[in-house]
Amino acid sequence: MKLRKRLTLYSTFTFGIVFFITSLVIFIAFYQKTMYSTISQLKNTTLLSGIYYLEQDELPSYEHSAIKEEFRATIQSVNVAIFNNKNKVEYGHLLGDENITSAILELVRNNKEYYFTTKDYFYHGIFYPDNQGDFVVFIKESKEDFNEQLSSLVLILLSVFTLGIISIYFLSKYLSNVAYKPFKKVIDQVNSINFNNFQEGIEVPDTKDELAELITTYNKLLHRLSEGIIIQKNFINYASHEFKTPLTAISGNLEVFAQKDRTPEEYKKVANDALENVYRIESILSNLLLLSGLNNKENTKEEIRIDEVVWDIFDALQPKVNKLNTQLNLQFEVKDFNILKIYGNHTLIHLALYNIIENAVKYSQKKPIDISLLTDNNRLKLIVKDYGRGIEQDDLPLVRQTFYRGKNVGDIKGHGIGLSLALRIFEQHNIEVDIQSKAGEGTCITLLF
């Protein structure tokens, strides 16, 4: 069953239940109110009948005449019976009514008042002491008007219920169609998405409701899928190039090497070249495995001194710094050494900072690299700034992607993994990263711990 039809049926069913309960409450309230009014009227009529028949000898003639007119306008004598203490009808013409029994008369005398109903009549009796003796006054009144009122009310409620059900059904159907239009638009857009345009996402309506939130979440999912596909594409291109180069070198050397006998020195050189290429492949695979399992890895956290990590990297990079004829300048301006402490995975933090600083060294173009440790609003700030190649502005938004390398890297070797891996590690440790760069002027990376 389609959502629109379900909404229509649910709305109609809900309205039916609510209206039924409301109608039941109205009917019960009307019934009780009408019954109370009828009983009150019966009490007054019963008392009026007693006064009319039993107070004639005590009231002035003009007062009794007024009571007589009111009595005749209210009830007929055929519906009145006044019983004496021997349960005989002494006044009125309500004779031989089988519903008024001696037991009923005794109940009236004991309780001073009593009423009951049958299928067609209301009965009401009162105990009426008089100078002529003690009497029981009984009247009966037809239930025809009472039943007609109830029947009319039931008919009105049924009519309103039927019209309401029909109206709410078509209104719900119309409203469900109106409410479904945005979903229909989304479905059409989803159906139009293919491999070539899925990264564009779906237009988010300016409604700020659950649908907009759903579409935003869906677009985020598409964006993540798009990034995954781009990474896969880059990985295929990257792997085919990066793996092919060392494998070709290994196979080429071995083919040439196998054509004739070689000296021990030549054996050693070829073996070293092959090992170097194997290590290169191993390094690429290790970074890929680390990058792919970073989000799912439960890392052990420990206390880390960032200044100590920087000094370790400084020592580790000295051979490369000397080889590239550049230098690392360290500047620490932190007075509170507790700020230098963070909690995280020491190995990953070391790897991430190493990648950042190593990139600065690789692209420094023999210019110095400044590394500064500062405090900013009681937070530790690490700045790595070089004055080398820099990054083209159109490349800057893309450098966070795995395997991506800028157009101006030239002949500098790299895999396009180091920076993206470092950024993933920083994100996992809630470290804020800001990258500013300009081609020909250098790059500045700021980390806020």
- The pLDDT, as a whole number, for residue 110 is 93
41 pLDDT above the threshold of 80: yes
Of 78-92, 255-269, 278-292, 327-341, least confident by mean pLDDT is 278-292
pLDDT tens digit string along 184-204? 777 777 777 776 666 666 777
Q: What is the mean pLDDT of residues 288-316?
A: 73
Q: Binning pLDDT at 50, 70 and 90, where does residue 174 land? A: confident
Rounded Cα distance between 50 and 277, Å, is 125
414 pLDDT above the threshold of 70: no
- The pLDDT, as a whole number, for residue 267 is 73
Asked if 360 contacts 384 with a C-beta cutoff of 8 angstroms, the reply is: yes
- The pLDDT, as a whole number, for residue 337 is 82
pLDDT tens digit string along 353-411? 988 898 888 888 888 999 999 988 888 999 999 888 887 777 666 666 655 555 656 56
DSSP codes, 163-177: HHHHHHHHHHHHHHH
239 pLDDT above the threshold of 60: no
Q: Could you tell me which CATH class the domain 210-292 is placed in?
A: mainly alpha
Of 13-27, 231-245, 428-442, least confident by mean pLDDT is 231-245
Look at the chain and count its residues.
449
Question: For the chain, what is the total number of helices (H) and then of strands (E)?
Answer: 11, 12
- The pLDDT, as a whole number, for residue 382 is 92
Percent of the chain exceeding pLDDT 70 equals 82
Highest mean pLDDT among 286-300, 414-428, 435-449: 435-449
Place of tokens 């049924």: 158
The answer to whether 3-148 and 210-292 have equal CATH topology is: no
Q: What is the mean pLDDT of residues 8-12?
A: 83
Largest CA distance in the chain: 157
57-84 burial string, b = 16+ CB within 10 Å, else e?
eeeeeeebeebeeebeeebebebbbbbe
- The pLDDT, as a whole number, for residue 28 is 93
User: What six digits make up the tokens of 294?
Assistant: 């970073």
Of 54-68, 101-115, 237-251, 348-362, least confident by mean pLDDT is 237-251
128 pLDDT above the threshold of 90: yes
The bridge status of strand 80-83 relative to strand 133-142 is antiparallel
Q: Which residue has the higher pLDDT, 251 or 364?
A: 364
Rounded Cα distance between 322 and 424, Å, is 30
In whole angstroms, how far apart are CA 292 and each of 260, 295, 420, 433?
44, 7, 11, 21
User: Which CATH number is 3-148's, of 1.10.3470, 3.30.450, 2.60.120, 3.30.230?
Assistant: 3.30.450
233 pLDDT above the threshold of 70: no
Mean confidence (pLDDT) of the chain: 81
Q: Domain ranges for the chain, please list them.
A: 3-148, 210-292, 302-448
The bridge status of strand 133-142 relative to strand 121-130 is antiparallel
If one looks up domain 302-448 in CATH, what number appears? 3.30.565.10
Q: Binning pLDDT at 50, 70 and 90, where does residue 176 land? A: confident
Q: What is the mean pLDDT of residues 294-320?
A: 80
Q: Binning pLDDT at 50, 70 and 90, where does residue 412 land? A: low
